[in-house]
A and B are shown apart, each in its own frame.
Chain A
Amino acid sequence: MMFRYEIKKVFSKKSSKIAILLLLIVVIITCWFATDVFFVNENGEKKTGYAAVRQLRKAQKEWAGVLDEEKLRQVIEENNRINATPEANSKKLTDQEIAYGWTQGIYELRNLLNCSYGEDFCSYDYYRADDLSTEDAGAFYENRIMLLKNWLSDDGKYLFSDAEKKYLIKQYESLETPFGYDYMKGWTQVLEYAPTIIMVGMLILGFLVAGIFSSEFSWKSDAIFFSTVYGRNKAVAAKIKAGLSIVTVIYWAAILLYSTIVLVYLGIDGAACPIQADFSGWKCFYNIQIWQVYLLTVVGGYVGCLFISLLTMFISAKTKSAVLAVMLPFVLIFLPSFLGNIESPVINKILGLLPDRLLQVSTALTYFDLYKLGNKVMGAIPILFVLYGILAIFLLPILYHEYRCKQIN
């Protein structure tokens, strides 16, 4: 009963209903962006829509399979074949479009070649793949490790300790090769826009839960609330439960809606490919598969949202002000991106462990944030999960105690 009415208090506000509507709109718009995939057909015409998705999938599926030396040789061969066609060398725009159309099947693989055979670790040359010959195919996986090593002994020298360098190289070397490749547009698109959904979701969740504790004061209903038998125990617990339920239900509803739309539309192929099979994850030192990246992203987002929401509720309880509470998620999400412009190893170490990273795990996975625990070097991601999971649990009794001991004057 108490719980039901707590929820009702939140959603009886018009602003809460508007916030939910806003979230729905954001999800739909994001889905629209995430599913905006094009395909250039044999006439050089750019097509969008579901037909384009199916054609792209068909084209890339032809190259699915283990990415061994033979397959890589074929990719290079195909790329060179296309480059040698009159269309590719034509000055006419439509011809160039037609030639581009042919590369779509190997487009993602071509990007991987650009990465692997790049001049150095940090550069990316879009035309690098065009200079390759079939003999180069063998060095594909070794290059990845070699470029890292070169970088670590050169430009990256002072960025990492010896233990960290060793850890990175070990992680690179333990990537299982040759790995499988598949069409994975569904996953890469879902992951690309997931942080948007999660962050906007967090802001809206913060808005919804910010009032749960402070509204009693702004409504002046606090005096009656705290003078009832459950006002300093069960009714407080009901508030926390209501906050957690709102976060849980709305978060997962938004994520499921978004993921389902994008994945059904673009397909779930390639779930078992390693993150390195997509060029955005090529340098990633976590050796995990795409479906794991997805899972980490959405679960990380949930842990992050839980933590930030609980902190928001705590501020709302502590300061009796929803305005201050609502600002917290904004600060936690936007402040790090300002600080990120400062080039300082210490600040970067701190930034790597801020809760906003949990809202964008798919991006954070590609950052080289390393921490030493005891004599073990670790990436930031597992630390973030444990750290904020524990902090969220710790916040529960603190929040409860803070509110139950409130005095009214």
Chain B
Amino acid sequence: MELKIIEVSKNFESITALDKVSYTLKKGVYGLLGVNGAGKTTLMRILCTLLKPSSGSVTWNGHDIFAMDGKYRNLLGYLPQDFGYYPDFTVYDYLMYIASIKGLPPFVAKQRTDTLLAQVGLAKDKNKKMKKLSGGMKRRAGIAQAMLNKPQILILDEPTAGLDPNERIRFRNLISELSEERIVLLSTHIVSDIEFVANEILLMQNGQIKMSGTGEEIVCSMPEKVWNCKIPKPLVDSYLKKYKVSNIKNLHEGAELRILSANQPTEDAILETPSLEDVFLYYFGEKAGADDVQI
């Protein structure tokens, strides 16, 4: 079980969406972390054979995935970022249809559909029309369709985007439930989504994988330290300009800043343990999304 990305580049006219990406995925959960426009979706589309790379190749156990054609797609489960469906189909019909184009015989399709509907908590909504579902329910239907063929490669593009906090937690649990015995590649721009589920985190920026490793490894790789310091109100602005600040807490007489810096920024600054969020800020120069406002 080895999905190998070899020097994959993708250009859209003048834009380089992917720049010589190489990586090897084996069994486990991979979190693809990057800001909007980093190239996550483009990479995932290539892995789903929806887009042809401009150069480079992707192999599954040594075979080119585009040459494998249907054989490769048979291993694939995909939840796209803009998850589209047939609005007037019921949830059940929707899954049965996807099962049919995934080559499941009708009898098996029925069983799988019922199992998955129960697993994602949609069993009693199976006769509802897709367009009548809430955002979270749609996403769960989306996960269910991706899982119909028991894929060896499960690709989820921003599966938690647009979900409320409860749905998000639920979703994370669901994903860790589904992540056994397969390759799961999960993209997000929200650190907390993958901090605990992913065995390995890939930081993506400008079409390149800047860094990868376990959460711990990535945190350790950061050369700067994290400080917590209280700053009086008039000075807050200048500190925000001078340092990378990963968190601000407003206090009565000023603010408590979480600052990334190699040197101690103030005398009373306290050294903190860096988190993945701090690393995200360090590498991407912008704050990791805590919600979906920026989508």
Contact = CB atoms under 8 A, between A and B. Distances in A.
Do A and B interact with each other, yes or no?
yes
B40 interface: no
Contacts of B51: 407-409
Contact of B101 (A220, A223, A230, A408): A230
Interface string B136-176: 00000000010001000000000000000000000000000
Contacts of A221: 84-86
A137 interface: no
Given A2-B97, A2-B101, A408-B50, A229 B70 contact: yes
Contacts of B58: none
B102 A229 contact: yes
Interface in B90-133: 93, 96-98, 100-103, 106, 109
A5 B104 CA distance: 14
A9 interface: yes
B73 A5 contact: no
Interface string A1-21: 110010011001100000000
Contacts of B100: 1-2, 5, 230
B88 A224 contact: no
Interface stretch (B20-28, B75-83, B244-252): B75-83
A12 B86 contact: yes
A227 B50 contact: yes
A231 interface: yes
B85 A219 contact: yes
Contacts of A5: 89, 93, 96-97, 100
B93 A229 contact: no
- Which bucket holds chain A's interface residue count? 20 to 34
A213 interface: no
B183 to A, nearest CB: 15
Nearest to A408: B50
Interface core residue of A5, A221, A231, A408 (most chain B CB under 10 Å): A221
Nearest to B88: A12
Interface in A194-239: 219-235
A8 B93 contact: yes
B264 interface: no
Contacts of B78: 223-224, 227
Interface string A239-255: 00000000000000000
B226 to A, nearest CB: 39
A219 B106 contact: no
A223 B85 contact: no
Nearest to B71: A229
Contacts of A8: 89, 93, 97
Contacts of A235: 101
Given A408-B51, A409-B51, A229 B103 contact: yes
B47 to A, nearest CB: 9
Given A1-B106, A233-B70, A407 B101 contact: no
Contacts of A227: 48-50, 73, 76, 78
Contacts of B149: 228-229
A220 B102 CA distance: 18
A234 to B, nearest CB: 8
A407 B10 CA distance: 13
A224 B94 CA distance: 12
Interface string A21-58: 00000000000000000000000000000000000000
B50 A407 contact: yes
B135 interface: no
Dominant SS among interface residues on chain B = loop
Contact of A13 (B69, B70, B88, B96): B88
Contacts of B87: 12, 219
A229 B101 contact: yes
A229 B74 contact: yes
A2 to B, nearest CB: 5
Interface in A282-341: none
A192 B69 CA distance: 52
Contacts of A222: 84
Interface in A363-378: none
Contact of B86 (A2, A9, A229, A233): A9
Contacts of B73: 227-229, 231-232
Contacts of A228: 73, 76, 98, 101-103, 149
B97 to A, nearest CB: 4
A9 B86 CA distance: 7
A13 B86 CA distance: 10
A408 B84 CA distance: 13
Contacts of B80: 220, 223-224
A44 to B, nearest CB: 59
A12 B48 CA distance: 28
B52 interface: yes
Contacts of A220: 80, 82-84
Nearest to A223: B80
A220 B157 CA distance: 14
Contacts of B86: 9, 12, 219, 221
B103 A230 contact: yes
Interface in B33-59: 45, 48-52
A5 B93 CA distance: 8
Given A220-B83, A223-B50, A231-B101, A409 B12 contact: yes
A83 B76 CA distance: 86
Residue from A13, A224, A234, A407 having most chain B Cβ neighbours under 10 A: A224
A236 to B, nearest CB: 10
A407 B52 contact: yes
Interface of A: 1-2, 5, 8-9, 12-13, 219-235, 407-409
By Cβ-Cβ distance, the 3 closest A-B pairs, closest first, are A220-B84, A12-B88, A1-B100
24 contacts: A1-B97, A1-B109, A5-B100, A8-B89, A9-B86, A9-B89, A12-B86, A219-B84, A219-B87, A220-B83, A221-B84, A223-B50, A224-B83, A226-B48, A228-B76, A228-B102, A229-B71, A229-B74, A230-B102, A234-B103, A407-B51, A407-B52, A408-B50, A409-B45
